[in-house]
Structures are given as structure tokens and as C-alpha cells.
Amino acid sequence: MQLRKLLSLACLALAACATAPKQPTPDEMMAAWQRAATPGAEHRKLDVFVGDWDVAIEFWMDPAAPPSKMQGVMRTEWMLDGHYLDQRYEGEMDGMPFQGRGTWGYDIAGQHYVGTWLDNSSTALMISRGRDLEGGKSFVLQTLGTDPVSGKPVEGFEEIRVESPDRHTMTMYEYRGSERVKSMHMVYTRRK
């Protein structure tokens, strides 16, 4: 009986080894790291966003009410050797200075666009992740932030549309229960 158990365990161990995934060699691991560290075609799709932009913003605290409006300026440039865009926004909201910072890039290993946003109206960080459509003419990113009132996660998405080299828009939506609600619309016009 003991011998039969040992033989069964040995067969199971051999079967597990035979089906285990092959471990990459050091050269294969280095090649994967180099691919993941080298900005590529997906990053080039973001070149259109580099520059100085006038930004007109409409945002809705209550979807049934008219939007509030604000204006500002966004400067976007490459950082970290072309791995990520650095976005710096300056404007006013309700007569008070408003500043925001964002990052946006492409995660080669994860095969998706990633972004972050933070500003001086909150201590929460918004994270976005998504893909491009139409060869980089539009992007759809899922967003995750924190509701400042409830402290609970807020999920949503943003649609970015490149209308021309000098104009693009971003529309943001939040999920409130099972409902999708438009929360913000921004128009970016390149400064001349």
C-alpha cells in the first residue's frame, strides 16, 4: 500500500513538472525588460497632446442643473525620456486658484494606456486605464477615484477625441448606481 502511494505521488510530481510553464532564460527576461522600457508607436499617438492649450471646462455637480464653467491653461510635455506625458493645469474655480497635474503614457507590458490626475481641490488621486480607437484619433479610459463626500470609490470613464492637431476634447462620465452620468466636458485649443 505504501509503495502504491509513493508511486502515485511520483507520477503526480512528474505530471506537474511536465505541465509547468517553461521559465524564461536570463536573455529572454532581459529582452522583455528592454521591450517594456522602450517607448513605441503607442507613445507616438500621444505626441498630438504635447504643447500649450487653452482649456474651456464645463462640469456638473448635479446632472439636472446647468453646468458650472471654468477656464485655464494646460502645458503638456514629455518626461522620463518619452515614457510619459507630464500635464500641468492652471486656472480658477469659483474665483479660487485651481492647479492640477496629470501623467499619461502607455504600459507596454500591460498593453494599455495609463494615466493619473491630482489637483488642489482634493487629496484623492484618479487613475485611468484604457485603449485607443481609430488609430489614436480617440481614446477610452476607465477611471477610478474617491468620492470626497462618502469616501467610497467612484468608477467612470473618459472619452478623448482628437479633432485636429490643434483641438481635442475630453468628456468624463461617472457611474452613480446603475446610471452613467456626464460629469465634465473639456475643450482644448492649442495656444498660438
pLDDT truncated to tens, each residue of the chain (192 aa)?
565 665 565 555 656 555 667 888 888 788 888 887 889 999 999 999 999 999 999 999 888 899 999 999 999 999 999 999 999 999 998 889 999 999 999 999 999 999 999 999 999 999 999 999 988 899 999 999 998 888 999 999 999 999 999 999 999 999 988 889 999 999 999 998
Do 158 and 143 meet the contact criterion of CB atoms below 8 Å apart?
yes
Question: pTM value?
Answer: 0.84
Least Cα distance to 141 among 71, 68, 46 occurs for 46
Per-domain boundaries in the chain = 2-37, 41-190
Any idea how long the chain is? 192
Give the whole-angstrom CA distance, residue 124 versus residue 79: 23
Question: Could you tell me which CATH class the domain 41-190 is placed in?
Answer: mainly beta
Give the whole-angstrom CA distance, residue 155 versus residue 175: 6
